[in-house]
Amino acid sequence: MDKDKDKSIIEGGSDVVSGTFSKYKAEFRKIVWPSKDTLVKHTVTVVIVSAIFGLYIAVNDTVFGFLFRQFVNLVGGA
């Protein structure tokens, strides 16, 4: 292997790392963070929709569980 090539890669390593972090920093500056009001509205929306879906799943689970038990009792009792 070429020792000069290996040495240049090792010496340039800190430049590569700092260059990468500066690119990340530049990209993070482009992010548009939501305002507090927007964040609160979106959070409330997510909580309400999650509660509605959770209730929907719980009701369906209860109804289908009841129907399944009735079916098993009907078939098992015959």
For residue 9, pLDDT beyond 70: no
Specify whether 54 is located in the same domain as 66.
Answer: yes
Of residues 1 and 29, more confidence is placed in 29
Q: Are residues 19 and 39 in the same domain?
A: no
Give the Cα-Cα-Cα angle 5, 9, 14 (nearest 5 degrees). 160
Residue 43 and residue 20 in one domain: no
> Do 5 and 16 lie in a common domain?
yes
Domain that holds residue 66: 33-78
Contact 70, 77 (CB under 8 A): no
Q: Indicate the number of domains in the chain.
A: 2
- Residue 16 confidence class, pLDDT cut points 50, 70, 90: low
Q: Do 42 and 15 lie in a common domain?
A: no
In the numeric block, the tokens 């993070």 are attached to: 28
Can you give the pTM of this predicted structure?
A: 0.57
Is the separation of the CB atoms in 46 and 54 below 8 Å?
no
**40-58 burial, b for 16+ CB within 10 Å, e for fewer?**
eeeeeeeeeeeeeeeeeee
pLDDT above 90 coverage of the chain, percent: 58
Mean pLDDT score across all residues of the chain: 85
Identify the pLDDT of residue 48: 98
